[in-house]
Amino acid sequence: MIAVQGLSVAIGGTPLLRGVSFGIDRGQILGLVGESGSGKSMTALAIMGLLPPGAHAAGRVVLDGTDLLGLSEPQMCDMRGRQIGMIFQEPMTALNPVQSIGDQVAETLVIHRAATRSEALRAARRRLDRVGLPEGRFPLGRFPHELSGGQRQRVCIAMAIALRPQLLIADEPTTALDVTTQARILDLLKGLVEEERMGLLLITHDLAVVAGMADRLAVMRAGEIVEQGPVADVLRERRHPYTRALVEASAHHPGADLRPTDRPLLQVAGAVRDYPQPRLRLFARPAPFRAVDEVSFEVRRGESVGLVGESGCGKSTLTRAILGLEPLQGGEIRLDGQAVSAGQRMQASLRRKMNVVFQDPYGSFNPRHRVARLIAEPFHLTGRPVDADARVAEALVSVGLTPEDRHKFIHEFSGGQRQRIAIARALITRPELIVLDEAVSALDVRVRAQILDLLADLRARLGLSYLFISHDLHVVRAITDRVLVMQAGRIVEQGPTEKVLRAPEHPYTKELLAAAPVLEVPP
């Protein structure tokens, strides 16, 4: 139905795509897999005719006998929405916050003069019903901010399929969503493809997602498709070394066998954190929202503990309380026997014993400072030691960078390198506990494997303890000794990682495990 033949895109002489060719039939799903910067999204934009200014496309994109690259902008506008629909990664920003969901879905129909406004609204209603947003709970007048991330993505899907396009392009449609939500959205997409006989181009970095969904798989690297074929064949044969590297990195497990000690380092006992709720009526003050509810656990010296849960379960709040950034309403947190007096000014000597690495390698650094100053920031706690420069260099070397990197600015580094710098910053005060808040979630699989190796190695060398917060069960399995499963502010299950993941007891843990996409790699 759609055939991309020798598609090449260049911006100012720099090639971004080289000779990309693939085809998708009706009712078929093609998974396009690659790391960030490999040209996956550029391929989608080229098909949609939405390339950034200055980009030039060559080759052919043939949809039902028409070459899309040859069409004028008004002709292309007619194609978009009618023949090709697209879903984006970030459902939070893909919807207009000041328009109701009904209007946004109906808009596509009205623009293409497929219906009058009232007909369009009726069609929008049917579409929303189809994507699992029934009239009773989700009337057309709802606004995006009243919906959760998964529900917003459903609205985006309803918009994309409003005119029953032949081709649907989904660019990382579930990357921003929780595992259980991801499973439901993927199910929905699969059902729609079968029902409507659409073609689906599923762009993702996650091989496991493709493995469970797609009919065919194309692996992309540096603007080229290095290997493509039926999913099972590609995953079994792995002819191209890059495919092999990707598959191995996805299943990576740092092979360190470490024995944690029995001495406790971090003790959390009955921690409670309440947030006041906004008043709904003038005199009635609503009960506070309990984000963390009687949570108790321990991290021993040299131990790596995973904390798993979906967004909104309270894991970030708990992290901030442990770091002494938010006060508790009950219970206490002790680090190395000393109470963490959250909210008030904590003793520098206590603060020095823990540090944190955040998820977003782009937002974690002040863009105006050089690396040396960024890494040395925690010296604020200890006073700047005489050998500060040497320690900055040492920290850089220990995370696999060179001492010369300290003169650079942060935007000169890739995401993986930035995460290494974040780890270097966390190591500089020689802490005992490092809190890793989704620290590898934003990284490509191969980079993620390297960072996991680095973390395992640092733990073995420096005797560190980790509190590893993640929604990704696979990563938790790779790096932790024990795991805590958190739901709605409570810890519902805890135990040795292997045991919990192999034989979960709590229904929520079972649900999480069932929803997580698994990459079964045939030997």
Partner 1 sequence: MSGRVQLILGGALSAVFLLAAALSLVWVPHDVAALNIADRLRPPGGAYLLGTDQFGRDMLSMLMVGARSSIAVALVAVGIGMGVGVPLGLLAAANRSGWLDEVVMRMNDLIFAFPALVIAILITAVLGPSALNAILAIGIFNIPVFARVTRGAALSLWTLDYILAARVAGKGRARISVEHILPNIASLLIVQGSIQFSLGILAEAGLSYVGLGAQPPTPSWGRMLAEAQTMIYTHPLLAVLPGLAIVLMVLGLNLMGDGLRDALDPRLRRVAR
- Residue numbers of the site for partner 1 (CB under 8 A)? 323-325, 345-346, 348, 351, 354-356, 358-360, 363-368, 377-378, 380-381, 409, 411, 422, 425
For β-strands 304-308 and 482-487, DSSP reports them as parallel
Q: How far is the CB of 409 from partner 1 (least distance, A)?
A: 6
Secondary structure of residue 466 in the 3-state scheme: strand
Nearer to partner 1, 56 or 380 (CB): 380
Query: In terms of CB distance, is 59 or 431 closer to partner 1?
Result: 431
Sign of CA dihedral 235, 236, 241, 247: positive
The residue (of 168 and 323) whose beta carbon lies closer to partner 1 is: 323
Query: Any idea which residue has 């990197």 for tokens?
Result: 405
Residue 153 or 364: the one with the smaller Cβ distance to partner 1 is 364
Which uninterrupted H or E stretch holds 226? strand 224-230
Nearest Cα neighbor of 316 from 397, 226, 440, 435 is: 435
Quick one: which of 194, 184, 196 has its CA closest to 160? Answer: 196
- Residue 109: phi, psi to the nearest 5? -65, -40
**Which residues, listed in sequence order, are joined to residue 200 by a DSSP beta bridge?**
29, 168
DSSP 406: G
* CB nearer partner 1, residue 106 or residue 354: 354
In the complex with partner 1, the residue whose CB is nearer, 166 or 355, is 355
Minimum distance from CB of 408 to partner 1 (Å)? 12
Q: In angstroms, give the least distance from the CB of 364 to partner 1.
A: 4
CB of 172 to partner 1, least distance (A): 21
Closest distance of CB 362 from partner 1, Å:
9
Supply the DSSP symbol for 80.
Answer: B
In angstroms, what is the minimal distance from the CB of 126 to partner 1?
Answer: 39
- Angstrom distance (rounded) from CA 33 to CA 240: 14
Residue 291 is inside which H or E element, if any? strand 289-300
- Taking the C-alpha atoms of residue 161 and residue 157, their distance in angstroms, rounded to an integer, is 6
Cα–Cα distance, 154 to 76 (Å, whole number)? 25
Minimum CB–partner distance for residue 382 and partner 1 (Å): 9
If the CB atoms of residues 94 and 354 are measured against partner 1, the closer one turns out to be: 354
